[in-house]
Structure 1
């Protein structure tokens, strides 16, 4: 058997799970809980459901309004300050979320731009802009 074949087999085995394995739970007379691989220990042993965890409830999402402007920023970010100043100079209202202090905002930012670790992230009338470049903001502000 070649090294490549052995590696492939080991890789496949590493990610397989026993599909028919059962675990039983039972409680003895003293109230101690036991887990076994068969129900032979106790007639009232109940099989446990094994498998993937139930899905977690969806996290709260921040509203994204395509008629508005949202900035995802952090407190010590020069490009973020430039983006805010750009909008403020033009009296353009915007909603600001600090991704360092707001985990929901950080999750929303990641949802909007997966893999983008930079800031600011702007959503201008539904258009996503990474970083700050004045010309990009001007272009996005034209509805």
Structure 2
């Protein structure tokens, strides 16, 4: 590779990286009055009505225009817990509707406190769309919420899309390996205490 080629690659690389996080979205109308949404410039015979520049993650980069716009402006997060039928019903509905979402599980006391900070309650599931919150699962309410957020009225998720793995509402921090290595190995092991079985009533409302 010549020096000139190397310089050219160095100049092009930042542009390629920028294109991975920026999307130019177009809304145009053709001679027949048909409105078209696209992330590429429309043909010369179509009039551009609206253009938006917005940052998008690679997760939504291949979404159709309307879904990309809604997912970028109003991301959906669902808080769930185990043995919660309404939680499962809510996730099943979102997936059938083609709504991309991230799932936060509430299993520890720290997770519960986080849930109370967000919603002021322990009712699950909790769905957030942008800054809006919806407690409990009700099909009609959730349908109206995603419609208001601009999500398409039919499933337009790419067939290759994979929903992200659920994670704790408050992720457990991993110990610092350096700190662990400095610990005196001669320290006596702490006395073991009986493990307290969890109570049946965890305080959640479904």
Q: What is the TM-score when the length of structure 2 is the normalising length? A: 0.34
Q: What is the TM-score when the length of structure 1 is the normalising length? A: 0.49
- Larger Rg over CA atoms: 1
